[in-house]
Amino acid sequence: MDHVPDLLLHLHETELIVTAAGVDIARYAFDADGPVTEGPKPFFHPIRALDGAPLTAYRPWDHRWHKGLQFTWTHVSGENFWGGPTYRRDAGYVALDNVGRMRHDRFTTVAHAGSEVSFTEELTWITQAGAEWITEVRTHRFHGLDEERGLWVLDFATTLRNVSGRDLELGSPTTEGRPNAGYTGYAIRMPRAWTGGRVLAAGLPDDAGTEPLMGRETPWVAFSGEHDEVDGGGTVIAFAGTSTGAPAIRWFVRSEPFPILAPSASFDEHVLMAPGAELRLAHRHAFGSRVWSPDETRAIAGELTPS
């Protein structure tokens, strides 16, 4: 009998599907379209645990531009590559004709099967006016499949290059004056059922909650919740990873009024990119098919923290 690979990657016309242990654990929509105001870009949805339970949300009513797990940037020298309204220091959130898109250009490599699968992709960030400002090369790597513990791991690495011919200033609503709104970067919107879920983090007590985490530096944050429709719950651990930008990576995390988690490379400080300059980022997520106990969560996070 032929060996069945642990992981399989299926490339279709507009999406990639990753399968593990007979479950489609991740769908990557790379030819994303939709309303201009939602900042069209590639995204993962659904992401699933090994038991098939969903771990992401798509176009929730409160923020239609929240789409599963996606790489975003809210403020780029006045342009918005996140979606929705833009925060202005003197006016609050306002709808502007400044929402750009991230165009998938091509895949350079796709590794289809084995204990790891991966793909590398080239993209271009285009303003709403049609100017090409940033080129990007990103890689997603799926690995760490552990059926006994109900666990799998996704690594993300990207290089951004400023091709605009001008200095670029990458920020967030907080750099524009709104406190504790440093959301940007590799953001995951989790299911509505996880609202009010348990949040744990390195260096904080189990009952700390989200308030002391907002804007904090810490190696990892874990979010657990119970599912609707199917029994049980799940856990997502996000690792801060690395940035070659000057600011430290700080966390944006909420469990109320909805569950969202992002390691932000420009939470309250701008990343500055001269013409031709590059910015490199790397992050990791681990997905579990149970609500791990605090001790289990901390042990798994310690085991999986990138060296």
Each residue's pLDDT tens digit, 215-267: 999 999 999 999 999 999 999 999 999 999 999 999 999 999 999 999 999 99
- Tens of pLDDT along 150-180? 999 999 999 999 999 999 999 999 999 999 9
pLDDT value at residue 3: 55
Is 296 inside a domain boundary? yes
Is 1 inside a domain boundary? no
Residue 136's domain is classified under what CATH number? 2.70.98
**188, 225 Cβ separation under 8 angstroms:** no
pLDDT value at residue 2: 54
Domain that holds residue 134: 7-304
Number of CB atoms found within 10 A of residue 18's CB:
24
**Based on the structure, what is the number of domains in the chain?**
1
The residues of the chain scoring below 70 in pLDDT are 1-5
The structure tokens 């239609």 sit at 64
Q: Cα-atom radius of gyration of the chain, to the nearest Å?
A: 18
Is 2 inside a domain boundary? no
pLDDT value at residue 1: 43
- How many residues are there in the chain? 307
**221, 199 Cβ separation under 8 angstroms:** yes
Question: pTM for the whole thing?
Answer: 0.96
pLDDT value at residue 36: 96
Q: Element (H or E) spanning 102, and its range? A: strand 101-111
Is 60 inside a domain boundary? yes
Number of CB atoms found within 10 A of residue 165's CB:
11
Is 32 inside a domain boundary? yes
Amino acid making up residue 66: H
- Distances in Å between the Cα of 101 and the Cα atoms of 49, 65, 149, 267 are 29, 12, 38, 21
